Structure 1
Amino acid sequence: MKQRTLAKTVTATGVGLHSGERVSLTLHPAPVHYGIAFRRNDLSGEQGEIVKLHPNLINDTRLSSTVVTESGIRIGTIEHIMSALAAYGVDNILIELNAPEIPIMDGSSLPFIFLLQDAGVVEQNAPKKFLKILKPMEIQQADKWVKFEPHDGFKVALTIEFDHPVFNQSSPRFEIDFAGQNYIEEIARARTFGFMQEVEMMRQHGLGLGGNLTNAIVIDDVDILNPDGLRYPDEFVRHKILDAIGDLYIVGHPIIGAFEGYKSGHAINNALLRAVLADETSHEWVEFADDEDTPNAFFGVNTLAVA
């Protein structure tokens, strides 16, 4: 399997979920071995330079995964676009924006899927690199845990737990094995969610300033406020899987392994990635010269444009 980038540059506009700022987002093709990078074109000098994504740059995980560099560059709420990039297996891309946060769009990754489809995803003349999990790895934080286990493919299972009547109406657990299930059908439409009683606290901390019923599921003391209801009966846990896929793809490569979490979030997902990279015995980097040797899980979203 070969590396992938975009066939052409595409642009979209939206609003930052936490900053509330209007954002112009542009996705550019990039050469082989470039990786995933960001550039804030509203900044100049050192702060306007390109930032190559790495798990160690995720230094703010309050309700999202946010890049914060040593020089103070912030690129916030990257998990939804990262989830879409993971679905298409995009290895090389420059993501340019004029604000400190990726636009929230409708709260899911589907708008980013459409943006990638508009750009076209093309293969490049270099083998794709995979991160293969070799042994179980687990991180626990209070009553939360996440883990990787060896698996010849990619699957994700999550369990959520919220003390609220809305969450008693659907299963708290969902598992998807990408060898037989499709990201766009099962995951991409699931939106972020939040509670009305937390809104004031969030805004006091400069968060959630752009949130509304068009880009999030909003829950009051007893029910969902969105007039159209849920897109999936268990949309909450599916969105947590969407987030986890995006958080894990911050490593910049597809992962061959099984991920499972209980009450997981951005901070603990990132901690697991860092632990894996820090333990040389936990993983290896692999390439597949022949597509027949590549696990089936990585062909689920495989609509490639003509180069």
Structure 2
Amino acid sequence: MGARPASSGKVAHAQAPALMTDASYSRPAPASLQMQTSLDRAIQCQGIGLHSGKPALVHLVPAGPDTGTRFQRLDVAASPAFRLTYDCIISSPLATVASSPLTPGLTVATMEHLMAALHACEVDNLLIQLDGPELPILDGGSRTFLSLIKAAGRSRLPVPRRTIEVLRPVHAKGKNDAYASLLPGRPEELELSLTIDFPAPAIGKQSFQMVLSQHSFEHDIAPCRTFVNHQDITMLQAQGLALGGSLENALVIQHDRILNPDGLRFDNECVRHKMLDAIGDLYCAGFRLSGRFEGHKTGHALNNQLLHTLFASPENWRFSDGSPHRLPSSG
């Protein structure tokens, strides 16, 4: 990703307060009483697309119960909003990309950092409107999206939340000994453990584990930036990728050096960012997950392959409220 400056993300309407406006963030309700949520009010921000290099504007609009996360492309005339589900994710190694089942050829890209923030903040229902095919990269992680959610606040909706409980271990294998697994865990809790191993000495072998909560995400994960090997930038840009990358929104690695003037935010920032990606990719299930995620050298395609494996059999999972094994369509 080149070193030319990228336009910084701009948040409309309000500065983010220090704490969420909804008191439930500091005093969670018992699992049996957890209700669905949306944002309290609409809010927007603008920045630059990581891969397109073009200006990108995103609107976050409150939505009603049982609507899930929906995307709408405002730049495509009469394009209806579609519900994000695991089976509308299409193969893309460098970003999470969804294809609309309602409008052939229409896609939404680089959603993983926003999805991770929504997952951590327990936002169940939301309409996300874009003025183009890609979300803004902003700070390269989820910190700006988290501030955006805080500024909008969160509202409880009068319908109980359903989570997906993992009942049996499921596994997905990738190239070069990469794998991802979902296993049964504690009720209403998602525990994650991840390792990476890169040839560049500045990255090397790293590991991280956590239990997902707004607090752990905000302090340990959200600030962690996407990263790239300096030697790959020219090739990526020749393919029309990483055109919006810069030292402002990505870690650039050159063998044993970090080229960013501010250096690393954590000694293991790279594996923490991979954890961020996994949190966002898993939320493409359409519901919060209850279980344990374990991964090694994971990427967007492998994370989505794992969801396909999970939902391949009704014996692998159930809804927390005992409702039938019927996932909503993406229409």
TM-score for both structures, normalised by structure 1:
0.90
Name the counterpart of 1:186: 220
Q: Secondary structure at the match of 1:280?
A: coil
For the residue of structure 1 that corresponds to 2:228, the secondary structure is strand
Q: Which amino acid aligns with 1:157?
A: S
Higher percent of residues as helix: 1
Contact preservation (8 Å) 2:113, 2:276: yes
1:131 aligns with 2:167: no
Where do residues 72-87 of structure 1 align in structure 2 (5 Å cutoff)?
72-87=105-120
SS of the residue 1:248 aligns to: helix
Counterparts of residues 150-229 of structure 1 (less than 5 Å): 150-152=184-186, 153-168=189-204, 172-178=206-212, 182-229=216-263
Answering whether residue 274 of structure 2 is matched by residue 274 of structure 1, we say no
- Among 267, 271, 285, the residue aligned to 1:251: 285
Partner of 1:58: 89
CA RMSD of aligned residues (A): 1.5
Corresponding residue for 1:4? Answer: 37
Counterpart for residue 117 of structure 1: 150
The answer on whether the counterparts of 1:9 and 1:119 sit within 8 Å (CA) in structure 2 is yes
Q: Which residue of 1 aligns with 2:9?
A: none
Aligned length: 284
1:146 paired residue number: 180
Aligned-partner Cα distance in 1 for 2:248–2:120: 24
> 1:195 Cα deviation (Å)?
1.0
Amino acid at match of 2:253: I
Are 1:264 and 2:295 counterparts? no
* Residue identity opposite 1:116 in structure 2: I
Q: 2-side partners of 1:62 and 1:201: how far apart?
A: 14
1:15 and 2:51 equivalent?
no
Equivalent residue in structure 1 for 2:121, among 85, 88, 94:
88
Contact 1:60 1:68 in 2 (8 A): no
Q: Structure 1, unaligned stretches of length 5 or more?
A: 289-307
Matched AA of 2:89: I
Q: Are the counterparts in 1 of residues 121 and 213 from structure 2 also a CA contact under 8 Å? A: no
Give the equivalent residue in structure 2 for 1:296: none
Question: Equivalent of 1:232, from 266, 286, 290?
Answer: 266
CA distance in 2, matches of 1:201, 1:124: 47
List structure 1 segments (4+ residues) > 4 angstroms apart after TM superposition: none
Local SS of the residue matching 1:230 = coil
What is residue 299 of structure 1 aligned with on the other side?
none
Deviations 1:97-128 (A, max 9, x none): 10110100010101000000011011110000
Q: For structure 1, which segment, 173-182 or 76-85, has the greater mean C-alpha deviation from structure 2 after superposition? A: 173-182
Give the conservation status (yes or no) of the 8 Å contact 1:134–1:284. Answer: yes
Matches within 5 A, 1:103-114: 103-114=136-147
Q: Distance in 2 between matches of 1:260 and 1:33?
A: 29
Task: Determine the C-alpha separation between the residues in 2 that align with 1:215 and 1:180.
Answer: 22
Please give the alpha-carbon distance, in whole angstroms, between the structure 2 residues aligned to 1:179 and 1:80.
15
Distance 1:217 1:162 in 2: 14
* TM-score after normalising by structure 2: 0.83
Query: CA separation in 1, counterparts of 2:115 and 2:182?
Result: 19
Q: What letter is aligned with 1:60?
A: S
Aligned-residue offset at 1:91: 0.7
Alpha-carbon offset, residue 205 of structure 1: 1.6
Instruction: Give the drift of 1:200.
Output: 1.4
| Deviation (angstroms), 1:69 | 3.0
**Residue identity in the other structure for 2:201:** P
Contact conserved, 2:179 with 2:298, CA < 8 A, in 1?
Answer: yes
Do the aligned partners of 2:47 and 2:55 also contact (CA within 8 Å) in 1? yes
Structure 2: stretches of 5+ with no match in the other structure: 1-33, 323-331
Instruction: Classify the secondary structure of the residue corresponding to 1:264.
Output: coil
TM-superposed deviation, 1:179: 7.0
Counterpart of 2:108 in structure 1: which amino acid? I
What is the percent sequence identity of the aligned residues?
Answer: 37
Alpha-carbon distance, 1:154 to partner: 1.1
Whether the 8 Å CA contact 1:191–1:216 is kept in 2: the answer is: yes
Question: Is 2:76 aligned against 1:43?
Answer: yes
Contact 2:202/2:255 (<8 A) preserved: no
State yes or no: 1:27 paired with 2:60: yes
Structure 1 counterpart of 2:198, one-letter code: F
Q: Secondary structure, in 3 states, of the residue corresponding to 2:46?
A: strand
1:112 & 1:212 partners in 2: Cα distance? 18
Aligned partner letter, 1:52: R
